[in-house]
Each structure stands twice: as structure tokens, then as C-alpha cells.
A and B are shown apart, each in its own frame.
Chain A
Amino acid sequence: MKIRAVIGNNRKKAFEVKTSTRTLVFPYAKVVPQPTARDPLERVFVDQELDQEGFTYVLTSGREGTVHLEQVLEFNQDPGYLRDALLYKLTIEAQNRVQASPLSKREIIRRLGTSATQLYRLLDQTNYRKSIDQLLFLLHVLDCDVNLIVRAHRARPGRAA
């Protein structure tokens, strides 16, 4: 995902970040240095050095900061971002469990009813195209229970608690 445009909205005290699919907000309160009435935002631009995956802002004092798109996605609890983060965590856990398991890779493959290629695809932490249920099945084969914990959000400014 790339940033198409970014503006500073002083009334909302937030950056408005436009991507190909939606516009996301990121509060000034989340950045350092923070734009304030005494040191307001001078300019903000999509950072080409970051392959359009971040933006840089400059305050009147000359101080500047950079925000990565992931910080914006995290703040907005983007479902795609959260899915990939969960997939990564489960993959690292699966790698560790495979390493520690008394089962041979061949036996794991047999129990999964799949191919070696598929197992290595599941264990590749840079592959985000696999499904979470495939990973859960692998962890089940490795004799692991996976508990999902759902928590209420903490209250955030500008958002109903």
C-alpha cells in the first residue's frame, strides 16, 4: 500500500493520509516532534525516499519528523494490517514449535496431509498469502492449543469508547 497524498488538518489536529483505497487520520498527538500552536506545521509531504510508504513533516522551527504508513494503519486498526501481523506471529511460533517438536518434518507433512513445498510455504514468515486456518492446523498437528483473546479497546481521543 502506498500513500497518495497527505495533508495536515490543524482544526482536527491530525494528519489526513490518503491511500489508494481510503483516507486515514493520524493525530498530531502521536508524533514527535508534535505540531503545536507555538510551533505549527510548516509543510508535510509524501516521502519518496520511503517508496511512498511514509510521510515527512516540517515544523516552523525547522524540526521535522517522519511517520511510516504502518503506524497509521496500526492506529486505525486496519484489518489487513492486523491480519498480516497475526499471521507473522503465528508463523514465528510455528517455526519455533517445529524446531522443538520431536516429530520429523516428514511426519509433520504426513499428518498435515500435504507436500513438503506446502509445509515450507507455511513456515515462510515472509509469505502473507497463506491462510490463518492452515497455520492453525499446523499448530494443531504440533500438539499446540491456540487461544484467541478478544479485548475491548482502550478509550481513544475522538473515538467512542
Chain B
Amino acid sequence: MGLTGVTLHGNHNTPRHVHVYRDGKFIVKWDLENQKAMKGQAPRRVVKLILELDSEGHL
């Protein structure tokens, strides 16, 4: 799918989240604590992939 992700640890300002890019274009900033998009919109299969990676401890 050509996805790139950067996970940022949560702190008192923001929850733990991941920025997802496809082919160098921003797709979504996803809140891993509340399971919601913080910015942008995630296609269902991207959300599924994020949830899988997070549950496996890769994020």
C-alpha cells in the first residue's frame, strides 16, 4: 500500500497518535488512545491496519 507512519508518544498536550502518509502525501493523524481521526480521514483498510499494528505492539 506504500504507507509510512510516524508514531508520537502521548503527553499532557496530546494523546499517543500516529501520522500516516501514502506515497509522500498525508492521509490521517490517528489518535491511538481514543481510536479517532485527529486530522484527515482514514480509509477503513488503513484504520484496520493501524489497529492491527497497534495491537501487535508495533506502534
Contact of A74 among B13, B26, B37 (CB under 8 A): B13
> Is the beta-carbon distance between B26 and A126 smaller than 8 angstroms?
no
Among B8, B19, B41, contact of A126 (Cβ-Cβ < 8 Å): B41
Within 8 A of B (CB), among A61-90: 66, 68, 70-71, 74, 82, 85-86, 88
Tell me the smallest distance from the CB of A49 to a CB of chain B, in Å: 5
- Contacts A88-B38, A92-B36, A126-B41 given: A51-B6 contact, CB under 8 Å? no
A99 interface residue (CB < 8 Å to B): no
Residue from A48, A85, A125, A128 within 8 A of B24 (CB atoms)? A48
State the majority secondary structure of interface residues on A.
helix
Q: Complex formed: what's the CA distance from A71 to B9 in Å?
A: 10
Kindly state the interface size class of chain A when it binds its partner.
10 to 19
Interface size on B, residues (CB 8 A): 19
> Do B21 and A125 touch across chains, with their CB atoms under 8 A apart?
no
Question: What's the Cα separation between A92 and B38 when bound, in Å?
Answer: 10
Is B8 a contact partner of A68 (Cβ separation < 8 A)?
A: yes
Provide the A19-55 mask, 1 if CB < 8 A to any CB of B, else 0: 0000000000000000000000000000011110110
User: In the bound complex, what is the Cα–Cα distance between A128 and B8 (angstroms)?
Assistant: 20
Which residues from chain A sit less than 8 Å from chain B, CB to CB?
A: 48-51, 53-54, 66, 68, 70-71, 74, 82, 85-86, 88, 92, 125-126, 128
Using a CB–CB cutoff of 8 Å, the interface residues on chain B facing chain A are 4, 6, 8, 11, 13-14, 19, 21, 24-26, 31, 34, 36-41
> Could you give 10 example pairs across A and B, Cβ below 8 Å?
A48-B24, A50-B6, A70-B19, A74-B14, A82-B13, A88-B14, A92-B34, A125-B38, A126-B39, A128-B39
